Amino acid sequence: MTTTAPGGPVAAELPFFVYGTLLPGEPNHDLFLRGRTAGERPAVLPRALLYDGPGYPYAIEGHGRVHGTLLVAAPGVYGELLGLLDHLEEFLGPGHPRNLYERVAREVELPGEAGEAGAPDAGDGAGESVRAWVYLAAAAVTRSLRTGGVLIPGGRWTTGRTPGGS
């Protein structure tokens, strides 16, 4: 399956960068991702800021870094996963006025060593960059966050629960 990238040509089945309730240990990870991923790695979204939301965060363009996870869809479930995530993130289509988030293709960084199982070859072992789908706050939400939102220092969202806890 191919998908039209917002503002761009047709894109291949890109992995997904997640940074909130879809992170491992968070409530939506098991609900939406269990059995639907073939790989998950820590990743960083450069040139972005993270804001607190009503029980979930928003990433927007900015001069910072957002920490999260890169997810690769399991074989045969890409279309299903894309539809589930678009629905969860209230993405109705590029630029739709009722979008809560926009799904955009962005470069994310994968820190660590090259040559890990399932990872694209970085060549130098200093980390790598991969193009992935990222759900960024839609335009109206972004305007509101820039004027009165609560910035999350360090770009790392947590709900305050301990890993594996309730």
Catalytic residue numbers, as ranges: 89
Residues 152/159, Cβ–Cβ less than 8 Å? no
Name 163's Cβ contacts closer than 8 Å, sequence gap at least 6: 25
Q: What's the one-letter identity of residue 120?
A: P
Token pair 């910072």 in the structure block, residue = 64
